[in-house]
C-alpha cells in the first residue's frame, strides 16, 4: 500500500505498519477520510491511539499528510498515517489491524459498496478489524436530492426499511453483531468531519443515518 510521507510517498509493508502501531493501545481506521482533518484532530486528542486514514484520492490527502510530518511543536503527529488506496483493495496490508473503523459520508464507489449488500465489501471491513473491533458508518441523506447521481450509481433508496431489511442482514452475514441504526440530526453528528460540517451548514434541518456494529470473534 502507498503511504504519503510528507510530500513523498513510500510503499508500506505490514511489518512497518506493525512497528508504527505497536506502541499504541489501539488503532483507528478512517476509510474514505477525504481531507483527513478528522483523524488529524483526533490523533492530537488521543495520543495513545494510532490513526490511519485511507482514501482513493491522492489530492485529498496531500496537504494534511505534509502537515502531519512537521515537528510535533509545529503540529506534526507520530500517531498518524495516510494511505492512498481504493477501498476495493482492503484488507490488503491492514488485515486484523483495527480496533475501530469509521466510514463517514462515503460517496461514489465507496457509497455503492457500503449500500450494496453483495460483492463482499462488508466482509472486507470485517477482515480489517481485530476481534471485538467496532465499525461506525455515517450516511448522507441529502445525496438523494440528486436524482442523476442516484441513477448513475444505481443506488437503492436509502430509508429505514432498506437499512433494516437489507443492510443489517448483510452485516450479520459478514460476521458482525449488535448492528444498530440511528437517525441523527445534522446539527448533532457524532464526528466533526469536513463533509459533516458542510451538511450541517447546507442542510441544518436534515438528518443522517448512523450505523454501528461490532465484531465478536
Binding site for ligand SAM (CB under 6 A): 32-34, 55-57, 60, 86-88, 104-110, 193-196
Report in angstroms how near the CB of residue 157 gets to ligand SAM at its nearest: 19
In terms of CB distance, is 21 or 104 closer to ligand SAM? Answer: 104
Sign for the CA dihedral angle at 22, 26, 32, 37 comes to negative
- Which residue has the closest beta carbon to ligand SAM? 34
Residue 51: CB minimum distance to ligand SAM, A: 13
Nearest distance in Å: CB 204, ligand SAM = 17
CB of 71 to ligand SAM, least distance (A): 26
Q: Sheet holding 2-5: strands in order across?
A: 8-11, 2-5, 80-84, 49-55, 26-31, 98-104, 129-140, 207-215, 176-185
- With beta carbons less than 8 A apart as the criterion, state whether 94 and 128 touch: yes
- Decide: 144 and 158 in contact? Cβ < 8 Å: yes
Report the residue number, 164 or 187, with the smaller CB distance to ligand SAM.
187
Q: Shortest approach of ligand SAM to residue 181 CB, angstroms? A: 19
Cβ distance to ligand SAM smaller for residue 174 or 199: 199
Q: What angle do CA 120, 123, 129 make, to 5 degrees?
A: 150
- Measured from the CB atom, the residue of 153 and 172 that comes closer to ligand SAM is 153
| Cα gap 18→3, rounded to integer Å | 14
Nearer residue to ligand SAM within complex by CB, 29 or 213: 29
Amino acid at each position: 500500500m502507498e503511504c504519503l510521507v510528507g510530500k513523498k510517498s513510500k510503499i508500506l509493508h505490514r511489518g512497518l505498519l506493525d512497528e508504527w502501531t505497536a506502541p499504541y493501545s489501539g488503532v483507528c481506521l478512517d476509510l474514505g477520510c477525504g481531507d483527513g482533518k478528522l483523524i488529524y484532530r483526533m490523533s492530537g486528542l488521543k495520543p495513545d491511539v494510532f490513526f490511519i486514514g485511507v482514501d482513493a484520492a491522492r489530492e485529498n490527502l496531500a496537504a494534511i499528510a505534509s502537515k502531519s510530518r512537521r515537528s510535533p511543536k509545529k503540529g506534526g503527529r507520530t500517531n498518524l498515517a495516510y494511505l492512498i488506496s481504493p477501498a476495493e483493495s482492503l484488507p490488503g496490508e491492514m488485515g486484523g489491524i483495527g480496533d475501530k473503523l469509521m466510514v463517514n459520508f462515503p460517496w461514489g464507489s465507496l457509497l455503492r459498496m457500503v449500500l450494496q449488500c453483495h460483492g463482499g465489501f462488508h466482509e472486507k471491513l470485517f477482515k480489517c478489524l481485530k476481534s471485538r473491533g467496532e465499525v461506525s458508518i455515517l450516511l448522507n441523506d441529502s445525496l438523494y436530492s440528486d436524482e442523476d447521481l442516484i441513477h448513475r450509481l444505481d443506488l437503492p433508496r436509502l430509508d429505514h426499511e432498506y437499512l433494516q431489511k437489507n443492510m443489517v442482514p448483510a452485516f450479520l452475514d459478514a460476521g458482525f453483531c449488535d448492528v444498530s441504526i440511528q437517525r441523527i440530526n445534522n446539527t448533532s453528528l457524532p464526528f466533526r468531519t469536513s463533509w459533516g460540517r458542510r451538511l450541517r451548514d447546507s442542510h441544518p434541518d436534515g438528518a443522517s443515518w448512523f450505523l454501528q456494529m461490532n465484531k465478536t470473534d
